[in-house]
Amino acid sequence: VATFFVHAPDLYAQAALSASVTHVHPVAIDGAAVLAKAVALVLEQPACTSFAWQPWMEELIAFSQTHELQKQLRMTKRLFAAGLNPKFAVDYLGCGSAVHESLPFALYAFLYHPTSFEQCLLCAVTHGVEHAELGAMAGAIAGAYHGIAGIPQGWRTKLDNEAYLEQLACKLAQTAATANGNPPYFATQWMGKWN
């Protein structure tokens, strides 16, 4: 959703529609939309050693439409500003199956390890009980930020149908790069991360 509707003014509605297939609770819908926004925002940034985390978090807080998630996003921002190690941050943020207990820590894992897809993902999956959920969310953000080059080659070669999955990712990138009013520079920038 985020890759296709990255510049669409109705990103929230598109993410909510996609999430409604499997989720009905307003906080779950909100979490899906906030995750889509997080991915959309990092897609436009070059992967570098310095990540502008404060404006990113402010945009996510403003984008959220539920008090429960906004509260946890603010907590995420405060804990990261204080420099809290993830092993302690997880105690405050939670890591349960409800999105307001998992998405904030997935964001924290990315904030703590923005320069390494591998370290971000390992941080997410080694804290808490919802390993797959945390890994999927943190991996989506870190993958969008770093592109294919940031994902360890050894991890990619262990995937079933690796070549087919990379082909699908490139097709999605090509389609998304010219869809939904995306500006011309977006095609070059986005494709650069996935070729």
CATH of the domain at 89: 1.10.4080.10
Residue 181 has pLDDT above 70, yes or no: no
Compute CA 191 distance to the chain's CA centroid, rounded to the nearest angstrom.
18
| 4-19 pLDDT per residue, tens | 777 778 899 999 988 8
Residue 184 has pLDDT above 60, yes or no: no
Judge whether 182 lies within some domain. Answer: no
Judge whether 87 lies within some domain. Answer: yes
Question: Could you tell me the residue range of the domain that residue 89 belongs to?
Answer: 11-149
**Considering its fold, how many domains does the chain have in total?**
1
**Tokens at 66, concatenated:** 């539920």
CA-to-CA separations, 76 to 46, 93, 167, 174, in angstroms, rounded = 23, 7, 35, 34
Residue 176 has pLDDT above 80, yes or no: no
Judge whether 18 lies within some domain. Answer: yes
Judge whether 165 lies within some domain. Answer: no
pTM of the model as a whole: 0.88
